[in-house]
Structure 1
């Protein structure tokens, strides 16, 4: 693949560099905000070497190149379009700001949550995966839990969840326009060693202190999400408003000092307890639906999750999943999302066997394999949506798989991993949990594969 040539051809097919407001890329896709999407030659773009699909969603025109290729295309593309320049006056508007300007309020809220949680997913995945592997080693007697190395690895695995408020504090402060290091300080205050750590504790009760006629529980916020988000949002408001009135000569001393002091008091007196109640309420409501709607909830969520992926707001669910882990110690939503993901892979695999065009086969097989590992965008946008029937077949497969994992109470001990890798974070909850998860995957993949074969696909020969 000639990346320079692809970048040049892509710029032309997008309507020229004047039609591009901003651009960035994720692990698999080039994400563009355009002035006029009617100027885009979508069909020609999809025929470019290396392109696995293109679609418009959430205020962005997105082009799928796949892992390892998209970043190599982006570099010459940025040079070609003038997105990389040393002149601050010539640089385009921030990509996130350009995207948000094209979104409705609900989509902007979901995008904000996504921007906060996506950067910290690697830390959660690393900890969850290690926790899962240790759980398997303990369950199958592969290692001595009292050994020094096991205890050390156990500390490694729980660290990300314990310091989650600090991680969220940094990421949220960046998103809300505040100082990320002040966000880290606020997160650190919320998990101070003098506060009782509730993470992993059930019976322990905190002490209280009396301040300003308030009884304040000396209870930490380890593992919590909503209290930290609310607190850091308020911190950023305080910081930005202070910078408007504090003289520049003393800004460095006064603004951080006042921001931390005021935010700290507000956190323990009002925002923290309120956020804890709100987060617990959301978890309890979801658990009530999960316990009483049974397999019907899995049927609906598993069947519709792929539609949510189309909107791009699915990353915002990480906030809810993190809350579940803190409140009840297990994530029962992730297995449902996983069924939807592998079902898309099953449908994509069927398209590989049905397709006659070499380009379709070239895209379908690696895209399907990617879905089995939890990355669904290539198979959804590059294969299944293009032929529609495979996407519908995958929704049905995801619904049935989702119903099964809910019926059998499958759960995970982290978030961020679906597909085959999720086995590692399902293992700590027992062997039967893993077995039921694998059966659910087989149901989702088999149903979507068979239905796609029955529905067939109609290729347009070129």
Structure 2
């Protein structure tokens, strides 16, 4: 992969640098927070070399890369200002922030994703030291053990500082002030007071001292408030003194406030969460494990799994171990097993290579290539993996396996499940093995619809839309109005023709009719845009107005859904032109051929005033 080219293409097709609020990455995905998701070109992004798939989930625009995601992320930083620390992630500017659940998931993933790689590395080292200690290869008095233990434990000890950095970046606060506040929580004298259970006061106010090393919730609450207080201070303090006066106020206010209010609240909340999780496993460890093992990858697809990350870390902090992480390992190895069965059974050479590499990647804890590239695409293998994960998760839960550190469950991270005396470790090994075997056997027996081995089309040759050959075609006018060149549209996403060539219409009537015989491929829930695949091969996007996605469907009436078969002249969408204009939006409507690269000629009409029955575009395919 040419990381530089991949990075530049991704920046271009997410709508440009100006459309990006923030970017983080996890083990396999670039997680963009965009100002307007409609400005991103999903089809173009999925065609970029190195991109596995693109999805919108948890309030984020996620681009699945695979194991090369750090290199692509780094290249994006080198060729843009997207990763600058002073580039804040103001949620108020995000037109796609979504519901409260999506916002919470977005916040959690943005806070924890940046350091999960080093988390996994430190966790593996911590697990290996546990094994060495249990087998008497090393003792805690050996110099080797002391040095390596410091290397493995420092991240967890100073966890509030790392979380302060990512939380400040997410909410637009000053990172260095956030570090200072977090550092105060783990300052030696503060720790000594807490460990000696001493009673102290601040300006006469009693302070309940607690130990904040390895904690999660207190510092998140503190830095969120700090970020808003910082903006308030900067609004009223003169710019000549705000660079030092604002941090001074924040330190004076936030450190005591955290120790007096947010710290006790956060730790108490963390203990309650840990108690609830423990109660679930105490009620039925077998059932809890089965549910997590069977459903975890479904949570991954929707991005909801991020909600478990702080719970897992909190459990390890409160009780020294966590039962959620081991059960999710069953689902990981189940996906590997299903992908392996596809590798054995498929006759498609390219799909065999894809499923083989996805199997190896999944065995090391990264399931996205297996899910999006293989099992979910074929459907039945994904169901088989859910079944295998359920059985394996039940075994792991019943065996009482705990994770003593965090990291993506895989072959290399098995040491994090090895606790004192090896309790539960055998159940973990048996559970993941059973998950792999059951998923593989079920997939192999029930089979799947094997993609046609067409060298020209590869693993997706079975896709009906991709199999259509483009021919000479006329695209009829979908909206009565006045034509204008696409290059004159105010929005550069369209005028640059990055999404494809076409034409724009200034509507004089508030309805959209079908310009071709074909199929609805995309029916946006906001009703402002429609994707159509014509029976002759053209792929068409009709986008009513500029930035009308922000109306969230208001003033639009849709008459279609995805998959509908349509004929020329069928009414697709109706819209109230006057109310859209009153709301402050342009109604200029681009009509774009999104697979323009398949045509040698895309000729717009030269007529100015257009009726619905007029020819709008003439297409001539490449030979």
* TM-score when normalising by structure 1: 0.85
- Deviation of 1:351 (Å): 0.8
**Conserved in 2, the CA contact under 8 Å of 1:169 and 1:184?**
yes
- 1:52-94 per-residue CA deviation (whole Å, 9 max, x = no partner) reads 455554466655443238846996x999xxx8489x9xxx997
- The structure richer in strand per residue is 2
Whole-angstrom CA distance in 2 between matches of 1:198 and 1:298: 40
- 1:243-270 per-residue CA deviation (whole Å, 9 max, x = no partner) reads 1100011112211001110111211221
- Deviation of 1:95 (Å): 11
- 1:215 is paired with a residue whose SS is strand
From 415, 422, 430, give the equivalent of 1:439. 430
- What are the ranges of 5 or more consecutive residues in structure 1 without an aligned counterpart? none
Greater gyration radius: 2
- Deviation of 1:359 (Å): 1.8
- Where do residues 277-296 of structure 1 align in structure 2 (5 Å cutoff)? 277-296=268-287
User: Compared with structure 1, are the counterparts of its residues 173 and 299 closer, same or farther at alpha carbon in structure 2 (3 Å cutoff)?
Assistant: same
Of 313-322 and 444-453, more deviation after overlay is shown by 313-322
Whole-angstrom CA distance in 1 between matches of 2:90 and 2:161: 25
- What are the ranges of 5 or more consecutive residues in structure 2 without an aligned counterpart? 453-460, 462-623
From 316, 322, 345, give the equivalent of 1:354. 345
Tell me what 1:230 maps to: 221
**Conserved in 2, the CA contact under 8 Å of 1:298 and 1:336?**
yes
Of 63-72 and 429-438, more deviation after overlay is shown by 63-72
| Structure with bigger RCO (C-alpha 8 Å, 6+ apart) | 1
Tell me what 1:163 maps to: 158
Of 286-295 and 148-157, more deviation after overlay is shown by 148-157
**Conserved in 2, the CA contact under 8 Å of 1:302 and 1:336?**
yes
User: Compared with structure 1, are the counterparts of its residues 195 and 377 closer, same or farther at alpha carbon in structure 2 (3 Å cutoff)?
Assistant: same
Whole-angstrom CA distance in 2 between matches of 1:341 and 1:322: 19
User: Compared with structure 1, are the counterparts of its residues 35 and 213 closer, same or farther at alpha carbon in structure 2 (3 Å cutoff)?
Assistant: closer
User: Compared with structure 1, are the counterparts of its residues 162 and 40 closer, same or farther at alpha carbon in structure 2 (3 Å cutoff)?
Assistant: closer
Tell me what 2:441 maps to: 450
- 1:211-270 per-residue CA deviation (whole Å, 9 max, x = no partner) reads 455432333211111111111111112111101100011112211001110111211221
- Where do residues 378-397 of structure 1 align in structure 2 (5 Å cutoff)? 378-397=369-388
Tell me what 2:546 maps to: none
Superposition RMSD in Å: 3.5
**Conserved in 2, the CA contact under 8 Å of 1:197 and 1:219?**
no
**Conserved in 1, the CA contact under 8 Å of 2:338 and 2:382?**
yes
- Where do residues 64-143 of structure 1 align in structure 2 (5 Å cutoff)? 64-68=64-68, 71=71, 84=80, 101-143=96-138
Tell me what 2:334 maps to: 343
Whole-angstrom CA distance in 1 between matches of 2:395 and 2:360: 22
* TM-score when normalising by structure 2: 0.64
Whole-angstrom CA distance in 2 between matches of 1:212 and 1:266: 12
Tell me what 2:169 maps to: 174
Tell me what 1:151 maps to: 146
Whole-angstrom CA distance in 2 between matches of 1:399 and 1:332: 15
Of 98-107 and 135-144, more deviation after overlay is shown by 98-107
- Deviation of 1:123 (Å): 3.4
Of 368-377 and 418-427, more deviation after overlay is shown by 418-427
The count of corresponding residues between Structure 1 and Structure 2 is: 446
**Conserved in 2, the CA contact under 8 Å of 1:131 and 1:428?**
no
**Conserved in 2, the CA contact under 8 Å of 1:413 and 1:429?**
no
- 2:279 is paired with a residue whose SS is helix
Tell me what 2:357 maps to: 366
